[in-house]
Structure 1
Amino acid sequence: MKSRKVVVVEDDKMLATVFSMFLKNLGHELLGFYTDGKEAIQKVEKEKPDVILMDIHLKGEIDGIKTTEIIQEKFDIPVIYISGDTESETIERAFKTKSYGYLVKPIDKTELGINIELACIKHKYDRDISIREKRYKNLIDVSPNSIIVVVDNIIEYVNYSGLKLFETIHIEHMLEKDFFSFIPGGYQGPLKKLFQELLDGKIKMLDYSPAKIKSLNNKEYSVGIVGSLIEFKHAKAIQLVISDHTEYLETKKLLTEQNNIINNTFDGISTISLGGIITSWNIGAERIYGHKPKEILNTKFVSLFPDKDDMYLQEIIVEKTLEKQNIEVELDYKHPLTGELKYVQLSLSVLTNLGDEITGLVCYTKDITDRKLKDLDLKKSENSLKAIFDGSTEAIFFVDQNLNILDSNRLAKQYAQKFFNTEISSQSNVFDILAFLDKTEFRLLFENALEGVSHFLERPLEIENKKHYFKITIYPVTSIDDESINRFCISFLDISDKKKTEKELEETHAELKPLFDSSIQRFYLSDLDAKLVAFNKAAKEIIQKEFRRNIRKGDNLFDFIPSEVGFEEFNKKFNTAKEGKHITFKVKIKNDDGEYWAEAHLDPIKDETGETRRILFWTLDITDREKNLAALQKSEERYALIASGGNDGLWDWDLANNELYVSPRWKAMIGFDE
């Protein structure tokens, strides 16, 4: 036997000694003995052994099987496994690495020698076959024809052109699949018969056969198939050469569709010669420019823009495009039919032939009139908003998620100088400008704002020995593009005067409240939505008595209107008062004690601008007054009777109160005394 160079990978030192002795007796050269897979890989790269004896269960990060996989992939050296493990799972895993032997410990010297020789011979044979197959494979891989090799109708090989035909780039999608699963049913029978005749030697070649093939995406192609018998991986195989007949028709169809698409595209598409002459013109271009093809073809492209300088346009359209290969430019023009000012965006690029020679230009025209007008409106709006922004009575700071100030209005800059004694610069940190803010508190508030939470605060600030009050508002700013929040706004409003006024009002309220509560009149103060803001003691007592419930701030005034008034009627009166008019009315009300008369008033309460802000509804018990008026009216009626009775005797009997009034004449006649 020929002497072989051997590397042993085994972590058992005793076995290593045995292997060393066996290999010496067999006439082989031991290049090295290694116990670790990683070390073995490094040494094998340098020593280039003829064969490797590999233990499966090695110590270290990788075992013998993984080590073998790496060695085979990198160095193509035959490996013989040596192991005491006879578990089927281990053996199956080892076989998957295409090893050249599996010896079970303890190892016999003669058996070892035979396996080493067989491994080297088989490896040489496999390499020769691999080289021949690789040469053959390289030849057909680059073939422009689709080539498929089938064994027992199973696909074993597909070249690059074949993969393209089947609409895939991965050969794994095709291997080990039945070739006839890609052939529609009507074509399977004749082809299977020809395949069998070729395998049986009845025919030498598979002559041209028309058929259809389905791709992996179930797309059908019209093809022609020829074939021959070959040997592939030690087996009889049929090599098929498939030509796609649909390419020409598909190309023609595609060109027709593309022409239709181009011609009917909404945007304008035109081609221009190197001399600046229009050579094609689609419907979109006709719509945009208002010229029909017969009017515009073979005319200069610059004629579309009569208000522009010809030389300038020639330089932009032709020379710049040829220089940069593609450009974009915006132009305006007057529409020839409507006379309207229009805006277009031209995208120009070069046209080349199959030899990459520039033959002309293609121009895509997009009507951007609406966008341009919207941009102009937006610019106006931005200017208006900027004016509002800078004219605001609040100092406003826009802050990003890193707490840097992105923008601020005029008043904010004034506040920074006047109150905060600092200047706002580009990317100033909010805490540098607003140093008086409590970092712990406000950092949390800022984080909440970036999560979509708004905050409304009031804070005092001592400035030049004078206390100022500020209303501070923190609210998130949502992005227009994706509605995300990556910035927030913090605004300051000096409410010192308001606080002073509120304090004065509180003091005034404290003085007036005893008078308000001691009044016998029932006062109800509500907002314009009839929600109660305040009420006095007399109002509270009458509500408890007549409605048997407690009155609270925020209650609806309409809930306490007696039924005798009527909801609709009171609503009319309330709305009239909201318009600034004083309303007075009286009503007789029944309760558990009988009935009484009440006089009601609706008074509008206005602010300093004269605008109604509150409604004061107040009532007064006028029962005694009404009774006195009724008695007075009766007396007047009696006197009228007496006056009209002359010398005759008269009497007046009040049945309701069981009272009798007798005139003096009548008393004298019937003898009544007082």
Structure 2
Amino acid sequence: MANEKIIIVEDEELVAQDIKLILEGLGYHVPAITPSGEEALLKIEEYCPDSVLMDIMLEGEMDGIETAQKISERYDIPVVYLTAYSNQEILHRAKKTEPYGYILKPFKERDLQINIEMALYKHEARKSRLQLLQQKAVNKYLEKSLKEKETLMREIHHRVNNNLQIIISLLSLQSKYFEDEKVHDFFKDYVNQLKSMSMIHERVYQSDDLASIDFNHYLVGLASQLSSSYKKDPNIEIIINSDDIFLNVETAIPCGLIINEILSNSLKHAFSDELSHLNKGEILVELRTNQRGKYVLSISDNGVGIPEGVEFPYKGSFGFRMVNTLIKQLGGIVEFDGSEGTSYQIQFEELRYTERIKLDSRGKN
């Protein structure tokens, strides 16, 4: 028993006091006894009872059935009739109010106890069913809304990918009008940067999970695409070692651009024009998760290193500065060594879009 509150609406004071003693003996709390329907509505407003025990013939202008009807319209409280009237007309009127019980006077304590307990139980069960139905309706709506948003997101990624492909095609066509090899290389670099982004949108579009992409598979695809673009010497080997890491788009795009730029530089500049089978070139790309939960991206080659006077990130090419900017965008740190070949080790965490908005807004204040 949870000490539920029950208001008694009964115009016979002695009967009402007797009922109160019985209910309190059963563990219920009776905060009010009232002889009229009008006063009963006021007491319900004041005490918010768990149930109302209602006589049909009452003082005042409203009888118990009219009062029960108003209770039903205003509140979600179970009403149990306790009355001496059982004629057909009264029963017909009472049924329309959908009472939770109907006890005839003179009553037995056991009948009163059973009716009250059943009324409270049925009311809680009804509320639980309604809540379950409401939750199912909400879940169905949310599921439908989620599917609609997933469809929209896929369409957005598809359109972004199509637009990137149009730009790539335009740049490729434009480059054919120039005979200078340096201009061709310039266009090729930018086309490869766009392709590195396009591959991410394509993988998201094809993925079951719109929130992230399998970055290990992306690395393999990116290495293959760059090898083909720069006509990789067969004596140069690109080795990919990566944990099973999934990155969201917010993180994957700058990370992909960083890898694209460093790999491109190694393929273009790290090795001599003629490599023998005894002098193989090697480019190693690793992406791991360290003990602190951060990502560690390592890219190295065993090539010639960087020329004298060139330093990462500011005393060198635009590519160095772009890589450094992208690392900062990831909130990462980098260790660079260009003495024997080149080696980058970059630590970063996955970006969260909402967090970045907060950081940007603080920075503008």
Which category of TM-score, normalised to the shorter sequence, fits these structures? Answer: 0.3 to 0.5
Q: Which has the higher strand share?
A: 1
Relative to the length of structure 2, the TM-score reads 0.37
Which has the larger Rg? 1
Using CA pairs below 8 Å that are at least 6 residues apart, which structure has the higher relative contact order? 2
User: Scaled by the length of structure 1, what TM-score is found?
Assistant: 0.20
Q: Greater share of helix residues, 1 or 2?
A: 2
